[in-house]
Every structure is written in C-alpha cells, then in structure tokens.
C-alpha cells in the first residue's frame, strides 16, 4: 500500500436514513476488508455507525428530514476515526440513565450509546452534545 | 401490503418466528416485524412464542427495544417468549446490555421449545 492509500476518507450527509445508511455500511465494510480489519472489528464498527447515525437523526434532529446528519470518517491500517454531527441542541451524555441497572432494564433509552462505548476504543460527545467523535484501534 | 420480513408458523402448539432478513436494524422494518408478531400473539389466549435468530447477522439497540416490548405483551397475556440460535456476536450485545438476564435464551430451537412451562 503506498502513502496515498494509507488513509481513506469517507464522508456523507444524511437528510433521512435509508437507503443511504445501508450504502455507507457496505462501502465501509469493503474498506475495512481492504485495510485488513477482522470480522469482529467489522461487526463493532457497523453497529457503532448504525447507532450513531440513527441517534443523531432520531434524537438529535428529531427525525426532521430537512436537517442534516454529517458523517466524517478516516480509515487507516491501524485506526478508524468517525465523527457524527447533527443539527440538534445536543444532550448531556452523563444524564442518560444507565440501561443496565435493574430498574432500567426494560426501558428503551441509553442502550445505543452504551453499545458504542462497549464496542469502540474511545467515544466522546463534544459539548453541547450534538457532535460525536469515536475511534477504533486495530487489535495487535 | 409489504413483503413479509418473517416466517411465522405453528410448531407443536407454539408460534415459531424466523427472520427472512439478515439485518434487523431499520425502524420501518422493526415496526413491521413487531406488527406481524403482534398479529400472531393476538390470536392466542396464552401465546408461546419462539423467535429463532439463525439467519440474523446484525442487530441494533432499536431491535432490542422491540424484543422487550413484545416480551412485555406476551407475558401480560400469561404467555412465554423464548429466543434461540443467536450468533455469538449478537449474544454479546445481550450480555453487554444485561438483557440476557431478562430473556430466556437457548442455543437451539429444540432446547427453546422444550423450555416452555405452560402447555
């Protein structure tokens, strides 16, 4: 792989979710194979992208197809960086109830954010909370 | 009428559900899946439902929420829900969210079918 191929950037703007999100996922999966990521990585990243973009559209933009979800990513042989930015007012990730607490197990919210934290190496929401930045480091 | 995303049939007194799609993600699809299963549940007094995940490769947190809603409806009717044949990576999602504690999950459809307590 020469220097020009060491880093691939994929960028999208979503005003609705489908079928654009599936097309992005297919392009991403092909890129991950090309950069030598294994199936566990592909599963993790597909899930994180799904949760991030759906959350941004549904919760951030309140499902408004006139508003944009901006997806930016960089794929290299060792690391994947993803940013998802919506046009909403943001939220306090610390205020999301822990979905694994016994009293919260059967409520619907918080699980998407939790799964992103579990599967990605690093996840952070930049204030006011409408800008998600996450990364995945390839395992040695 | 949209094309069904599920195969639903009766097996030994239980409602057996198999997925046609390998990705259980999209909210529109999830709504349709939920409605198809609810229609089957509504026809039963004490529904015994076995959902087989053999064909499923990807799921989302929205799908977990749909399963929780179905479980609640089935149990309110005095019925039982069993899940089976879940890919190990998807099962990990249940473990991370601790939903493996709430659902009755079995390795095979045979084991799931044998675990129903009501007849």
| Distance between CA atoms of residues A111 and A132, nearest Å | 16
The answer to whether B53 and B92 have CB atoms below 8 angstroms apart is no
pLDDT along chain B (119 residues), means of 10: 82 92 83 93 94 94 94 96 97 95 96 87
SS3 track for B74-118: HHHCCCEEEEECCCHHHHHHHHHCCHHHCCCEECCHHHHHHCCCC
First to last CA, chain B: 34
- Give the model confidence (pLDDT) of A68-80 as tens digits: 999 999 999 999 9
Chain B partners of A16 at a C-beta cutoff of 8 Å? Answer: none
Interface of B with A in 80-99 (CB under 8 A): 89, 93, 96-99
> In sequence order, which residues have a C-beta less than 8 Å from that of residue A66 and are 6 or more positions away?
A15
Q: Do A112 and B61 make contact, defined as CB atoms within 8 angstroms?
A: yes
| Distance between CA atoms of residues A102 and B106, nearest Å | 22
pLDDT at residue A2 is higher than 80: no
Q: Do B98 and A100 make contact, defined as CB atoms within 8 angstroms?
A: yes
CB-based contact (8 Å) between B68 and chain A?
Answer: yes
pLDDT band at A42 (very low <50, low <70, confident <90, very high): very high
| Distance between CA atoms of residues B119 and B50, nearest Å | 14
| Distance between CA atoms of residues A75 and A44, nearest Å | 14
CB-based contact (8 Å) between B102 and chain A?
Answer: yes
The chain A residues in contact with chain B (CB within 8 A) are 17-18, 40, 43, 46-47, 50-51, 54, 58, 99-100, 105-106, 108, 111-112, 114-115, 118
Nearest residue on chain A to B93, alpha-carbon basis: A115
pLDDT band at A3 (very low <50, low <70, confident <90, very high): very low
Domains of chain A in start order, with CATH, are: 3-137 (3.30.565.10)
CB-based contact (8 Å) between B58 and chain A?
Answer: yes
Q: Write the ipTM.
A: 0.89
Domain B6-114: CATH class, spelled out:
alpha beta
- Give the model confidence (pLDDT) of A102-135 as tens digits: 778 777 678 999 999 999 999 999 999 999 999 9
């Amino acid at each position: 792989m020469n220097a020009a191929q060491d880093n691939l950037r994929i960028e999208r703007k979503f005003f609705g979710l489908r079928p654009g999100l599936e097309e992005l996922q297919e392009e991403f999966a092909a890129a991950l194979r090309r950069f030598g990521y294994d199936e566990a990585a592909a599963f993790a990243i597909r899930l994180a992208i799904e949760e991030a973009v759906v959350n941004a559209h549904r919760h951030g933009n309140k499902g408004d197809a006139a508003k944009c979800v901006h997806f930016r990513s960089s794929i290299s042989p060792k690391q994947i960086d993803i940013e998802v930015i919506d046009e909403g007012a943001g939220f306090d990730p610390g205020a999301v109830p822990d979905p694994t607490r016994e009293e919260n197990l059967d409520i619907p919210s918080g699980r998407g954010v939790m799964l992103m934290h579990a599967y990605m190496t690093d996840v952070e929401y930049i204030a006011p909370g409408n800008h998600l930045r996450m990364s995945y480091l390839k395992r040695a | 009428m949209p094309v069904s995303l599920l195969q639903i049939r009766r097996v030994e007194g239980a409602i057996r559900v198999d997925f046609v799609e390998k990705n259980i993600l999209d909210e529109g699809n999830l709504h349709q899946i939920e409605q198809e299963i609810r229609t089957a549940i509504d026809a039963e007094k004490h529904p015994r439902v076995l959902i087989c995940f053999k064909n499923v490769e990807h799921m989302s947190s929205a799908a977990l929420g749909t399963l929780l809603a179905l479980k609640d409806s089935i149990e309110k009717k005095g019925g039982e829900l069993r899940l089976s044949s879940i890919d190990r990576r998807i099962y990990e999602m249940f473990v991370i969210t601790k939903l493996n504690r709430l659902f009755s999950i079995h390795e095979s459809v045979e084991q799931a079918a044998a675990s129903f307590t009501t007849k």
